[in-house]
Homo-oligomer: A and B are copies of this chain.
Amino acid sequence: MAVLAAAVPDVQGSRDTRQIPIQKVGVRGLRSPVRIRAREGGWQATVADVQMYVDLDAGQKGAHMSRFLELLGEGWVIDVAGLRELLRQTAQRLQAQTAHVELRFPFFMQKRAPVSGSQSLLDYEVSLSGVLRAGHAEVSVQVAVPVTSLCPCSKAISRYGAHNQRSRVTVTVRSAGFIWIEELIELVEAQACCELYPLLKRADEQYVTEKAYDNPKFVEDMVRDVAACLEQDERVLGYAVACENFESIHNHSAYALIEKDCAR
């Protein structure tokens, strides 16, 4: 085999004459088991969809794609520090100036039903992504939090009832200091008309129904209230807050977005 391998030409490593640099080249659509550092200690096992890219000099024909796979196979426990190290090694192993890594995964938190105290696990979509440029890594965290929303207009104009629905609030944060995924999720849930629970007994169902009715918000209110909280957190350098309501009276969504110093 050694003989064969020696004879194999390195097409990717050859010179390119078009003189066009490439901002991102790499792999996507990779699935990998990952371990995510948890606030309560230890880590949580989940499955990530992974993207890994580097930049490519104008003069080089191609990236050595298999090196991304070698790196990913090394069994990382991911948190912000782990992601920074993965970015650094990606740039180094691919001999690149810039590296991009994104991991997107379901993340679970234990919820206690508000009256019965029944426990169950709620799932959230989370993304950790980072970019390394000129030796400096910048990491951002995104959480998508499903909540209940109840329409203030519907409540105000109706003699009884109010339309409500599931919404998804997506918060992306660039930060100076460490922020737990769990902190961001709780920050969003505290602003919702009502938070969600997988397991609700009847007394809990009464509680969440009445709580949402007592606490109506438009998509506009939701993104403003979450943005106001993020403004008060000194660790936050920039953010984007989006809310999408899967309207129960329409077949389309209502949507609002506030962005501040947060390049996507």
Contact = CB atoms under 8 A, between A and B. Distances in A.
Stoichiometry, as copies per complex, reads: 4
B252 A30 contact: yes
Contacts of A92: none
Contacts of A213: 158, 160-161
A157 B9 contact: yes
Interface residues of A, number: 109
A130 interface: no
Interface stretch (A57-65, A81-89, A169-177): A57-65
A154 B201 CA distance: 11
Interface of A: 1, 4-5, 8-12, 16, 18, 20-33, 44-47, 51, 53, 56, 61-63, 65-66, 69-70, 72-73, 106, 108, 115-116, 118-123, 146, 148-150, 152-154, 156-166, 194, 196-203, 205-206, 208-210, 212-213, 218-221, 223-225, 227-228, 244, 246-259, 264
Given A4-B115, A10-B202, A30-B252, 15 more contacts: A4-B203, A8-B202, A12-B218, A20-B228, A23-B258, A26-B254, A31-B123, A33-B121, A53-B257, A70-B199, A154-B205, A164-B165, A166-B251, A197-B249, A208-B249
